Amino acid sequence: MPGFEIFGDEERKQVNDVLESGVLMRYGFDGMRNNHWKAKEFETAFAKRMDAEFCQLVSSGTAALTVALASAGIGAGDEVIMPTFTFVASFESILALGAVPVLVDIDSTLTLDPTAVEAAITSKTKCIMPVHMCGSMADLDALKAISTKHNLILLEDACQALGGTYKGKPLGSYGDLGCFSFDYVKTITCGEGGAIITNNARYAVHSDQYQDHGHDHIGKDRGAETHPFLGYNFRISELNAAVGIAQLGKLDAILNNQKKNYTILREALATIPEVTFRSVPKGGEENHSFLSFFLPTEQLTKKAHKALAEAGVDACFYWYTNNWHYINGWEHLKNLKSLGNVAIEVKNQLQDLNNTNFSKSDAVMSRTISSLIKIGWTEKQVHDRAEAMKKTIAAVL
């Protein structure tokens, strides 16, 4: 996820526009800003690129998830189904609203298992949150059918999958809401930032107001605006949005380079009979930010991961023992370690995560290695990496 690899004159020009105006805030100061409205410009361009009617920029991907959930009316005691393999932001955003994360198994897509999702639905379930980890997607048709059947919101966390598609639609645009991250190591970066897309006008208005203290944004006098409901501060700055405008213009080139480098690595590993690859639902195309593959056993996978590091092959991840991306490392969630009191609904409803059986997820994650795909590699570096990975893994097997 290489936005940080290609920071250049385009970003500097956009940021300089903001610095010369002196207006770093996205709202107000109309006469000073030389008609530069970077957040508005980025929102318009991103919505168009993502085939969505509305876009709301916010301060991070975590903020995007929080605001998206709030915009759809998710609150205290509402249950949100999410996968065991994701980033901690998924459950953080749910807990921030007093809602209850319900963790369920993944399958070979490395995302939500639709069968596990349907089995977890209760009278308090309000939302299904598939997380398109490492650039690829859940079975969105199956999840959409479940959400329609049970009248649930389908919220796509596409923070790691910008540029991927499903049946011709950009990931994030298939559900009721889609969320993206523009942090420093995402496909494109604002330094820090996030976005929500939707075709639902009500959710769009709610997102716009909630992320700015509940301001209605009617008129040109910020002090005279009313507050239809409570909100918080999840605003993006003009500086961050300016970087995003330049980065968005580079997205197609990024995706093309990722796919080229991904293909070289995959073709090399495909020559090893014991290596298999994550499942991509029919009609889906990854954004090729990671190459994720399976080895036959947990023991062999651990050995291969260690051997790859010793061979100098960097940026290969073994998520099963990672503190941030898999349930095995989430002791603070399992035991609700918090600086203050946790919402009573969460205490009463959260599943016993220390004793829940996630053996199906374990069977997948314990055999998974993901190689980051960089676009700064030269052609020789990519081929050298492919050969090193192939040789190292074959030796372990």
Residue by residue, pLDDT tens for the chain (397 residues) are 677 888 899 999 999 999 999 999 999 998 899 999 999 999 999 999 999 999 999 999 999 999 999 999 999 999 999 999 999 999 999 999 999 999 999 999 999 999 999 999 999 999 999 999 999 999 999 999 999 999 999 999 999 999 999 999 999 999 999 999 999 999 999 999 999 999 999 999 999 999 999 999 999 899 999 999 999 999 999 999 999 999 999 999 999 999 999 999 999 999 999 999 999 999 999 999 999 999 999 999 999 999 999 999 999 999 999 999 999 999 999 999 999 999 999 999 999 999 999 999 999 999 999 999 999 999 999 999 999 999 999 999 9
Give the separation between CA 158 and CA 138, rounded to whole angstroms: 10
- Outline where DSSP puts E strands in 342-381: 368-372
pLDDT in the model for residue 246: 97
143 Cβ contact list (under 8 Å, min separation 6): 112, 114, 117, 128, 130, 154
- Distances in Å between the alpha carbon of 232 and those of 65, 208, 239, 391? 14, 11, 20, 52
Q: Which domains does the chain have, with CATH numbers?
A: 3-250 (3.40.640.10), 252-396 (3.90.1150.10)
Give the separation between CA 357 and CA 288, rounded to whole angstroms.
31
Catalytic residue among 38, 186, 334, 390: 186
**Cβ neighbours, 10 Å, residue 167:** 12
pTM of structure? 0.97
Decide if 225 contacts 219 (C-beta within 8 A). Answer: yes
186 in catalytic set:
yes
Say how many C-beta atoms besides its own lie within 10 A of residue 226's C-beta.
11
Q: Computed from CA positions of residues 124, 126, 128, 131, in that sequence, does the dihedral angle turn out positive or negative?
A: negative
**E-state strands within 10-62:** 54-58
pLDDT on residue 32? 92
